[in-house]
Amino acid sequence: MVARTVTILHHEQGGSCCAHPSPPPWDPTEDLRCITTTFQYLQTSGWYWGSISASEAREALLTKSEGTFLVRDSSHPQYMLALSVKTCYGPTSVRIEYNKGCFWLDSISATLPNLQSFPDVHSLIQHYTGSGHMPQNKPTHDIPPQTKPDPAKHTAKDSGVPLKLMHPLHKPEAFPSLQHLTRLTINRHTNCPHQLPLPKPLLRYLQNYPFSI
């Protein structure tokens, strides 16, 4: 899997969020539906780790390969979720913003345009685990393979953190079932699972989790 790359200049542990363009008029009752659906997807995924801290996420990711990621509850009271990922500089965390049915990654960079928003967290994650697309005007700071990064010289605040989302880290007690793994495989190989010649209960099972991660 080739990851999309986005440069984020903001750790989950501190900082402020950038302004996000106001979406069209929104029915507040839709917030409950949107958030409930997202958390249902997260509970099914196996890589949602719940209320662990940033340091616990760091410890879980420390020995994993670059691009390994998980989603957890944010430790900041104004945010619901955070993305923790192993980067070329080590594990880091980025807040996931939410407003009126849209989720996007937080950034404090004044030089970057607002990041793309998505109707749920899975669509956001799946976008950045796609085939090598770089969001427009998001310069990458990838380190050449032969160069060993020096954390003392390169930090999230002064040079940006290139996020490559490659492999979800499943929570040990929430490892996906064989049925779910089969569903992921089917979703990776077809854009129209509802058209497959399968019994209706199996089609509903596929529709309940329309993602490949």
- Could you give all domains of the chain from N- to C-terminal order, each with its CATH number? 5-174 (3.30.505.10), 176-213 (1.10.750.20)
What gap in Å lies between CA 169 and CA 2, rounded to an integer?
Answer: 17
Give the model's pLDDT for residue 150.
40
Give the model's pLDDT for residue 196.
84
Output the tens digit of pLDDT for each of the chain's 213 residues. 555 655 554 455 544 444 556 656 768 888 999 999 999 999 999 999 999 999 999 999 999 999 999 999 999 999 999 999 999 999 999 999 999 899 999 875 544 556 789 999 999 999 988 633 333 333 333 333 333 444 333 334 334 666 789 999 999 888 888 999 999 999 888 877 777 888 889 888 988 899 999
What gap in Å lies between CA 59 and CA 196, rounded to an integer?
Answer: 42
